[in-house]
Structure 1
Amino acid sequence: MTTPLRPIFLLSLPRSGSTLLQKLLATNAQIATANETWIALPFAYMRSPRGLAAEYWQDTCAEALDDVFAQLPGGEAEFRRLSSDFIRSTYHGLAENKVATYFLDKTPRYYLIADFLAEVFPDARFIFLFRHPLDVMSSILRSWHKDTFSPHLRSNAVDLWRGPELLASASRKLADRGLRVDYEELVTDPEGVIARVGGFLELEFPHDAVEKASAVELSGRMGDPHRGRKYDGVGEGSVGSWSGFVKNPYRRHFLKKYIGRFPEHVLETYGLNRQAILQELSRAPISLNGLGRDIAGINWFRLSMWLHQLHQQPGLSVMPPSCDYCQLG
């Protein structure tokens, strides 16, 4: 009988260096991996009345599935077992490396389902990759939204407004099964990160893992759109890159309000000091460059979020739903 692969879940926000870390870990033959699988998300959400839109009415489906699993001899435990069996079998199918003992699943939005993963995979290890939320914000806007606020930012709203707090919470809850890695450490000392991960997983990595990482290929459509580029060097200049994002008074105001929304314990988990960030923002040089475009863009984004939430709640109310994103700026 095949020995089950032990899952490693790499949890991070998008634009946090997770593809680089995944490639570094994949240089060890005992770690199989594939491009972002997203495979566990449907299992985690299938019994939830929230967070999933479907034309068959998800809340009714969730109630029906609760009834189904309540009638099974194993009940809730049976649901967890069946979920685990299917996901593990998928990992085995993806693992071309037959000597692997681990399967690394790097799907950034797994920060939404960390509790589910911990329950379904009691043998799993977790790696939490942290990057400064303002760097994540600026990188997402620059990489995917042409350095503008627009309705399309809705596709990353959950990452920017809920993601930091959920990732911090998961890292605290699962500290006994997890390892924390900071983006700053990853790009300035990748060898040191590899050594720490090796100790955590009880594995030895090749001495030239950083060089070998550039040869690791990940197929599929998901993940970093720039993943095909060679990692000939790591981007130390990307640390603190948010300072170049503060171009005008509105962006400074926006980022101050954004960083101000996170509870103190979340910022402490990130190793950040709110007052220090606010002072940096106050000192950032600004001009009127793009001011009108940014104000118009954020209002289009607000309207998009409001209409989206209204569409997801048919018949409930014609009043604007409560929406963090609609209160911005």
Structure 2
Amino acid sequence: MHNATPARTDRAPMTQPSGVAQAVGGPPFFILACGRSGTTLLRSMLTCHRAIAVPRASHFIIELHEEFGDAPLTDVSRRRSAIERLLEHERVIEFGVPRDDLARRLDALPAPTAADLCRACFEAYAAQQGKARWGDKTTTHGPHTTTLARLFPDALFIHLVRDPRDVALSLVRTEFQRDLLSAAITWRATVAAIERGLSRMTSRRSMRIRYEDLVSDPPRVLTRICDFLGESFDPAMLEYHRQAEALLAPQEKPIHRHLSRPPAKDQLEKWRGELAPEPLRMIETAAGRFLHAFGYERASRGRMTPKVMAGFVRSGGKRWASKTLRRLRRAPIPGRTVIAPRVRRFLDFAHPARLASVFTRPHDDVDPRKHLEEALNWLCRAQDAGSDDGVARSAKIGRRCFDLSYPETTGYIIPTMFDAAKRLGRPEYAARAVRMGRWEIEIQMPSGAVRGGTGRWHPRPAVFNTGQVMLGWNRLFEETGDRVFLDAAIRAANWLGSIQEPDGNWVRGHSAHAAVPAPTYNLRVAWPLAQTGQLCGDDRHVEAARRYARFALTRQKHNGWFDQCCLTDARRPLTHTLVYATRGALEFGLLLNDGAAIAAATRAARAMTDCIRPDGFLPGRLDEHWRPAVRWCCLTGSMQLAIVLWKLYRRETDDRFRNAAQRLTEYVLRRHDIASADPTIRGGLYGSWPIHGGYGSFEVLNWATKFLVDALLEAEADRAGG
């Protein structure tokens, strides 16, 4: 595999290894590459072959294998669980594969595994396309080449390589990487992992092609690929651009505009006109021996500088940490809830800027208008930071850049922007809210659900995230009257109803990073679900919300504490998630005039009020007896509680609620950074205090900042008398 130039024209073996599910139209194949290397172009070409189906990047093979392993799915409940997990994945929803078809294909095997389930899914997809054979192109598969070869012992592998200088430019331009050096190191790490994996298998199972050759001479390269796969050449592959509209998802079209026309050589060697000498030298040094091995000539005298060496160390450390943390999160307790957070905290403290921030002290500037203005400015910068209209999830001390946009929290930032626009007379905030809502529609999953996490995560529908975005769509419909927003909320509500259990609970669609079941905090989903039902006049959604609320409220103890209300530690829940449940119960109760829900919210709020110190400190975690479980404050939860207390004060005119809300707010304002020279930090609210506390350590979070704005708007309304 390390000879770069020879073409592999030997035909693939068509016999199946023993013990492997029989391939219907020939063995499957995997396209392996670093991101931005032309896999979408190659996939578009091969999909136009009369016998081959290659869907969009799958992402679910390794996920399913990591969860269910190699053991046969002979147990009925385990098999059902695996099928359910696969069917809720965004890509499989796109495939439209019926559950019965998957079950039938698995039943035909004596001892099916998770890999067989994935194979069955691809085969069903290919059959729907009228094709006999399937392939996969997922650029995150590079480090898992050896695993794929073991799970699919009959599979073939195509390694697609592209000039690392063009790859680095493309990765940075599309915001998949922050800088050119990181992008070049990513390219090297990916191709090295692929080559290492391919070197461990027989040469008849793999071939390597270059993107530049594919673009320069498509017929010749596609003929080589067809010979390798054992297929005849199909001229339709050269007409792929005529089907570009159908082959690409809406979110892919902006970055793959060139696929609507035949391959053009102007796509090659863009780096010659765009890279200055110093970045060029860094990229070529980072690419190392692979530059020459793949047939690319150096344009500089590459040398290992301290900056490049530091980049390798940093990149290697990140890959090691990411792999370690991923394994720990999948591990049983205590690996998941004890060891993984400690590894992450150690890595955080290793950063000089974060270590210095530990000594940050509170300040005395508590002017609410100044803090409100800075917090809103931060939210605007977080929205403007990316190429879409979502709001960046967070910013970390020392990184000086924003994270990717976060669909869940962008959804419930929308009402905040409308409230700020009205209270402050700033219509530009409302315009931003509309842009956020339209972006949420663009990325809504085909099922109607909203994905969990940011764009960095493999897409997976999430109940809680869906509810939070519905809050935004509902408010947008109320403010603008545009039916497109209500229709999006209705699609989301239909999905929530379709996966709801008879007792009202949601056991599917849980958070991808939940270490323990946390159904109770979904009370914050019952609120928007009922709201959507009222707006569209569909009692089914209102009743679904009632069923869930009845289920969740049975989890509240007599002292007001909510059981199963934390994603990481059910015995010591975060105030953040406790108040999620409390606010959800309160808003649901007020919306439907449900006295039981309002009483439940009031019980919890009164109990948490008793936990607030005179200076406004509220412990970040509380046990079932409302005793402090940690010594740090979750600033996010404190601001959420302040909002609830303001609402209860207006309802009951109990000065105890008002005074507690004021204490909480003043405590947080003294710790709200409005003077930082870093625009990614200034105005954002830290997750915890001290800054290195156990929630959002060393980060400012968009939802913490949103709740700060909400609390300040509530306080301003109180000062204004309404």
In the other structure, the counterpart of 2:299 is 277
Report how many aligned residue pairs link the two structures. Answer: 265
Matched, 1:86 2:86: no
Q: Distance in 2 between matches of 1:222 and 1:41?
A: 23
1:149 positional shift: 3.7
**Pair 1:163-2:187 in alignment:** no
Structure 1 position 272, deviation (Å): 3.1
List alignment gaps of at least 5 residues for structure 1: 48-64, 73-79, 283-294
Q: Within 1, Cα distance between the matches of 2:23 and 2:32?
A: 25
1:69-218 to structure 2, matched below 5 A, reads 82-97=113-128, 99-144=130-175, 149=179, 159-160=186-187, 162-174=189-201, 175-215=203-243, 217-218=246-247
Relative to 1, partners in 2 of residues 1:2 and 1:112: Cα closer, same or farther, differing over 3 Å?
Answer: closer
- The 1:183/1:110 distance shift into structure 2, 3 A limit, reads same
Q: Aligned partner of 1:192: which letter?
A: R
Between the aligned partners of 1:230 and 1:254, the Cα distance in structure 2 is 28
SS in 2 for 1:185: helix
1: CA distance, partners of 2:271 / 2:67:
37
Displacement, 1:214?
2.9
Give matches, 1:179-328, under 5 Å: 179-215=207-243, 217-218=246-247, 220=249, 225-227=254-256, 230-247=259-276, 252-264=277-289, 266-273=290-297, 276-279=298-301, 313-316=343-346, 318-320=349-351
Task: Give the whole-Å Cα distance in 2 for the aligned partners of 1:211 and 1:138.
Answer: 28
When residues 225 and 168 of structure 1 are mapped into structure 2, their CA distance, relative to the original with a 3 A threshold, is farther
Instruction: Tell me how far 1:98 sits from its aligned partner.
Output: 6.2
Please tell me whether the aligned partners of residues 32 and 194 of structure 2 are also in contact (alpha carbons under 8 angstroms). Answer: yes
Please state how far the C-alpha of 1:192 moved relative to its aligned partner: 0.8
CA 123–213 in structure 1, closer or farther in 2 if over 3 Å, else same: farther
Query: In the aligned structure 1, how far is the partner of 2:343 from the partner of 2:184?
Result: 18
Relative to structure 1, the CA distance from residue 258 to residue 190 in structure 2 (aligned partners, 3 Å threshold; closer, same or farther) is same
Name the SS for the 1:167 alignment partner.
helix
Q: Partners of 1:130 and 1:99 in 2: how far apart?
A: 30
1:157 deviates by: 8.3
Which residue identity does 2:142 align to in structure 1? Y
Q: Give the TM-score taking structure 1 as reference length.
A: 0.66
| Letter aligned with residue 295 of structure 2 | G
In structure 2, the gaps of 5 or more residues are 1-20, 76-110, 326-340, 353-397, 399-722
Distance 1:194-1:219 versus aligned 2 partners, 3 A rule: same
Task: State the Cα distance separating 1:137 from its structure 2 match.
Answer: 0.2
Match for 1:25 among 46, 59, 72?
46
Q: Whose Rg is larger?
A: 2
Judged with a 3 Å threshold, the aligned counterparts in structure 2 of structure 1 residues 148 and 40 are, in CA distance, closer, same or farther, namely closer
Find the aligned partners of 1:81 and 1:262 in 2 and give their Cα distance.
41
Between the aligned partners of 2:167 and 2:198, the Cα distance in structure 1 is 18
C-alpha distance in 1 between matches for 2:261 and 2:249: 22
Tell me if the contact between 2:174 and 2:255 (Cα under 8 Å) persists in the aligned partners.
no
Which whole-Å CA distance do the structure 1 matches of 2:36 and 2:125 have between them? 24
Report the AA paired with residue 277 of structure 1. Answer: A
Instruction: Summarize deviations over 1:42-83 as a string: whole Å, max 9, x none.
Output: 145459xxxxxxxxxxxxxxxxx79x89xx9xxxxxxx9613
Q: How far did 1:124 drift?
A: 0.5
Q: Indicate the larger mover: 129-138 or 14-23.
A: 14-23
| Structure 1: distance between partners of 2:29 and 2:251 | 18
Partners in 2 of 1:235 and 1:38 — Cα distance? Answer: 30
Equivalent-residue separation in structure 1 for 2:264 and 2:217 (angstroms): 11
8 Å CA contact 2:38, 2:211 repeated in 1: yes
In the aligned structure 2, how far is the partner of 1:14 from the partner of 1:29? Answer: 27
Matched residue of 1:314: which SS?
Answer: helix
Distance 1:240 1:157 in 2: 15
Tell me how far apart the structure 1 counterparts of residues 126 and 191 of structure 2 sit (CA, whole Å). Answer: 31
Give, in whole Å, the separation in 2 of the partners of 1:157 and 1:45. Answer: 28
Deviation at 1:178, TM superposition (A): 1.2
Corresponding residue SS for 2:260: coil
Q: CA deviation at 1:92?
A: 2.3
Write the distance in 2 (CA, Å) between the matches of 1:20 and 1:42: 25
Instruction: Tell me how far apart the structure 2 counterparts of residues 81 and 269 of structure 1 sit (CA, whole Å).
Output: 40
The answer to whether 1:38 aligns with 2:59 is: yes
Summarize the Cα distance change of 1:89–1:157 in structure 2 as closer, same or farther, 3 Å threshold.
farther
Please list the CA deviations of residues 236-270 of structure 1 after superposition, one character each: whole Å capped at 9, or x if unmatched: 112211122214xxxx3233233223442x33432
Q: Which structure carries more relative contact order (alpha carbon 8 Å, separation 6+)?
A: 1
State the secondary structure of the residue aligned to 1:95.
helix
Identify which of 37, 44, 53 aligns with 1:16. Answer: 37
Report the identity percentage.
23
Q: Which amino acid aligns with 1:257?
A: M
Asked if 1 retains the 8 angstrom alpha-carbon contact of 2:146 and 2:198, the reply is no
Matched letter for residue 271 of structure 1: G
SS of structure 2 residue aligned to 1:127: strand
Q: SS of the residue aligned with 1:87?
A: helix
Amino acid at match of 2:272: S
Deviations 1:91-113 (A, max 9, x none): 12322446533211111111121
Give per-residue Cα distances to partners, 1:270-324, cap 9 Å, x unaligned.
2235xx3325x89xxxxxxxxxxxx9xxx9xx8xx98x97978234463249xxx
How many angstroms does 1:230 deviate by? Answer: 4.6
CA distance in 1, matches of 2:286, 2:259: 37
Residue identity in the other structure for 2:343: Q
Give the distance between the partners of 1:222 and 1:91, measured in 2 at CA: 22
TM-score, normalised to structure 2, is: 0.32
Supply the distance in 2 between the matched residues of 1:312 and 1:222 (Cα, whole angstroms).
Answer: 37
**Partner SS state of residue 195, structure 2:** helix
The letter for the 1-side match of 2:285 is: G
CA contact (8 A) 2:52 2:135 kept: yes
Instruction: Give the superposition deviation at 1:4.
Output: 4.1
Q: Give 1:57's aligned residue.
A: none
Contact 1:7 1:123 in 2 (8 A): yes
Q: Is the 8 A contact 1:8 1:125 kept in 2?
A: yes
Question: Is the contact between residue 111 and residue 163 of structure 1 (CA under 8 Å) also seen in structure 2?
Answer: yes
Structure 2 CA distance, aligned partners of 1:34 and 1:257? 35
Identify the residue that residue 707 of structure 2 maps to in structure 1: none
